[in-house]
Amino acid sequence: LSGAHHLSKYSGGSGVLMGGALGVENAKVLIIGAGSAGMHAAKYAVGLDGDVTVINRSTEKLEKLKNIIPTIKTKVYSPAALEEELLKSDIVISTVLIQGGAAAPKLITREMMSKMKEGSVFIDVSIDQGGTAETSRATTHSDPIYVEEGVIHYCVANIPGAYARTATMAITNVTAPYVSFLAKEGFVEAVKKDASLHLGVNTYQGKMTNEPIAQGFGMEYHDLSSLV
């Protein structure tokens, strides 16, 4: 939705309509990553009549996504394949997620970005893990975009916050059982009994218990199991 909006000429975009028009091509949308965020981005882009391509390392994930959304195109990731698709795209949505909170890989170099279409839109969903482009920097809902290398960048770290009511209800549905379990068992017993809660603890008693984050910031890592 944000990508389609910022493609409009009055927003500084290239003036390409997502669904095209009679005799006019639809906007080309590239989605990097075929996980949950990539799947939802693809569904919305297809729903707006975009010409959608999804690129990912895993052929298994691409095949699964193709079965869910048959109209998309798929491509196996390589730096060359990514650059080829970037040059053709009007909207690029990066949804790469590294498990455990580690920094996202810089898949898109500044040079690649400079070759993209003038007025195209880049949305970095991975910005809360540092972003996947060398040109990415975090923005806010009050000041969401900036232009680098002629490309509009939308790098809001909390995209769901734009629809706060729906986002809050959705996340509460998922987290409420964990809150109840914590209240019943107490923190120590809860993280001992529930592996998901155990994995979700980043710090405890002033010590960093998330190894990827500790490595990313040069901090000492402590195994939570040795602290509780």
Q: What is the mean pLDDT of the chain?
A: 92
Q: Are residues 94 and 28 in the same domain?
A: yes
Rounded distance between C-alpha atoms, residue 61 and residue 71, angstroms: 16
Query: Hey, is 62 helix, strand or coil?
Result: helix
What is the pLDDT at residue 7?
A: 86
* pLDDT tens string 73-86: 999 999 999 999 99
Q: Are residues 8 and 71 in the same domain?
A: yes
Predicted TM-score of the model (pTM): 0.84
What torsion do the CA atoms of 69, 136, 81, 35 make, to the nearest 10 degrees? -30
Residue where a domain terminates, one of 157, 184, 199? 157
Q: Are residues 11 and 120 in the same domain?
A: yes
Q: Give the β-pairing of 28-32 and 51-56.
A: parallel
Q: At what angle do helices 59-68 and 36-47 cross, to 10 degrees?
A: 40
Q: Are residues 23 and 115 in the same domain?
A: yes
Query: DSSP state, 11?
Result: G
The residue type found at 187 is F
Place of tokens 């990539």: 38
Q: Are residues 112 and 24 in the same domain?
A: yes
Q: Are residues 130 and 217 in the same domain?
A: no
The residue type found at 43 is K
What is the pLDDT at residue 6?
A: 87
Residue where a domain terminates, one of 138, 157, 176? 157
Per the structure, the count of domains in the chain is 2
**More confident call, 140 vs 215:** 140
- Domain of residue 19: give its range: 2-157
Non-local (6+) Cβ contacts of 210 within 8 A are 100, 101, 201, 202, 203, 221
Q: Are residues 74 and 9 in the same domain?
A: yes
Residue where a domain terminates, one of 157, 178, 201? 157
Q: Are residues 127 and 23 in the same domain?
A: yes
* pLDDT tens string 95-144: 998 776 778 889 999 999 999 999 999 999 999 888 999 999 999 999 99
Q: Are residues 217 and 146 in the same domain?
A: no
What percentage of the chain exceeds 90 in pLDDT?
A: 76
What is the pLDDT at residue 81?
A: 97
Q: Are residues 97 and 174 in the same domain?
A: no
Q: Name the phi and psi angles at 64, rounded to 5.
A: -65, -45
Q: Give the β-pairing of 145-148 and 151-154.
A: antiparallel
Give the chain's largest Cα–Cα span. Answer: 65
Q: Are residues 191 and 135 in the same domain?
A: no
Q: Give the β-pairing of 91-94 and 28-32.
A: parallel
Instruction: Name the burial class of residue 201, with classes exposed (0-12), middle (13-18) and buried (19+) by CB atoms within 10 angstroms of its CB.
Output: middle
pLDDT tops 80 at residue 88: yes
Q: Are residues 151 and 205 in the same domain?
A: no
